[in-house]
Amino acid sequence: MKTWLCNASIDSRQYHIGMEEGRIVSVLPSSVSIPAGDSREDAQGMLLLPTFADYHTHLDKSFVGEGWVSRPKLNHIMEMLQVEKELQAGLRTSVLERAGKTLEAIVQGGTSRLRVHVDVDPTVGLKHLEAVVELKERYSNKIHLEIVAFPQQGLMKLDSVRWMKEALRNGAEMVGGVDPAGIDGDMEASLNAVFELSAEFDAAIDLHLHDPDQIGKATILKMIELTEQAGLGGRVAISHAYCLGELSRGEVEEIAGGLVAMDIPIISSVPIDTPMPPIARLTELGVKVHLGTDHPNADSWTPFGSCDMLEKARRLAEKYMWFDDHSMREAYSYIGNPPLLPIIGSPANFMLVQATNAAHALASLPVREKVYYQGVLIAGRMQKEA
């Protein structure tokens, strides 16, 4: 027997959405009667949006519940790494507690797919990872969560490779890395270590790359080369890639060709404080681009975190002056799977909000009234009233 969500608004028209075993099996105009006896819930004309994908975040760095944490003024990432350790050491609450509150807020915001980078190094060992693995299990019926082992302090430093291996044996599914040149100081050796870990554990890769300009360019080109050599096309991603915002048009086109050939997506947090990849241009060139919150709450890096992917897409639209309805709808393609219309056979993951249409929701960031995961109401302001 199907379950129906009736009178959900999509593109200013109303539909009945039929669900069975967690998937969408029918989409009918609301003028059509649904079979008597099927269970139903009335969406009361609220707008239906697909749930969001957040391709880059850090649950373990969150300061949620810690009150105000003051940060010193810093200019360089190496200073930042030191200060992050000091600030984290002074926190009163556990990683599990802070990451748990953060994950709950992410689910309430309508994100159903989340890639989480988790710090792994000799100081914290697997402590952060254990907390996130526990949350992954606890939230398995609410969100699809991928865990990246992330050597924030450097992969080649501090004997982190050993800890990365431990992490990959204990719940981490992907290999992370950070600034092979800028932090590790040896781009080729660091990237080789990343790809060796990938080969040993048959794990995909997602690398943080903040290194600028020509250093960043050389790193991306090397990653494309190593991806091809390892036959890892479609299993490697590059986060941030600020350098793409500094390179010439011709250089970006050259790099884009390699990214497309190896199916390497760029993942951006849409920064406003640093150059960022030319997302619209990369899309034109065929490069996949995903967005991530990066800082779902205040953390060591910024007091201005947010776990709302709709807000992230809004920032992207605002930056590129996507003010027409068509462009604003396109912004959703960076935070989930287009199109906005429900697809028969796909998981019944969506939310209901008070907005006229998708463009209106992007502009107004409405409260998520109800969030459904695999056809089950799991979150949202109206969760309890249901």
The site for Zn ion (CB under 5 A) is made up of 294
Q: Which is nearer to Zn ion, 272 or 344 (CB)?
A: 272
Q: How far is the CB of 237 from Zn ion (least distance, A)?
A: 12
Nearest CA-CA partner of 319 in 252, 253, 274: 274
User: Residue 319 is which amino acid?
Assistant: K
Q: How far is the CB of 117 from Zn ion (least distance, A)?
A: 5
Q: At closest approach, how far in Å is the CB of 181 from Zn ion?
A: 17
CB of 299 to Zn ion, least distance (A): 10
Q: What is the DSSP string of 81-148?
A: HHHHHHHHHT-SS-HHHHHHHHHHHHHHTTEEEEEEEEE-BTTTBTHHHHHHHHHHHHTTTT-EEEEE
Residues 6+ apart with CB under 8 A from 70: none
288-318 burial, b at 16+ Cβ within 10 Å, e below that, comes to bbbbbbbbbbbbbbeeebbbbbbebbbbbbe
CB of 53 to Zn ion, least distance (A): 16
Q: Side chain identity at 52, as an amino acid letter?
A: F
Closest to Zn ion by CB, 153 vs 349, is: 153
Nearer to Zn ion, 116 or 187 (CB): 116
**C-beta of 296 vs 342, nearer to Zn ion:** 296
* Cβ nearer to Zn ion, comparing 181 with 359: 181
Give the full edge-to-edge strand order of the sheet including 204-209.
Answer: 52-57, 111-119, 144-150, 174-178, 204-209, 236-240, 266-268, 289-291
What's the rounded Cα separation, in Å, for the pair 211 and 244? Answer: 10
3 state DSSP class of 223: helix
- Closest residue to Zn ion in the complex (CB): 294
| Torsion angle defined by CA atoms of residues 102, 105, 107 and 110, in that order, rounded to the nearest 10 degrees | -130
Distance in Å, CB of 83 to Zn ion, minimum = 16
Nearest approach in angstroms of CB 340 to Zn ion is 28
> In whole angstroms, what is the distance from residue 359 CA to residue 365 CA?
10
Minimum CB distance to Zn ion smaller for 81 or for 377 = 81
Closest to Zn ion by CB, 54 vs 369, is: 54
Q: How far is the CB of 269 from Zn ion (least distance, A)?
A: 8
Distance CA 10, CA 49 (A): 8
Q: Quick one: 144 or 240, whose CB is closer to Zn ion?
A: 240
The residue whose two tokens read 């109401």 is: 377
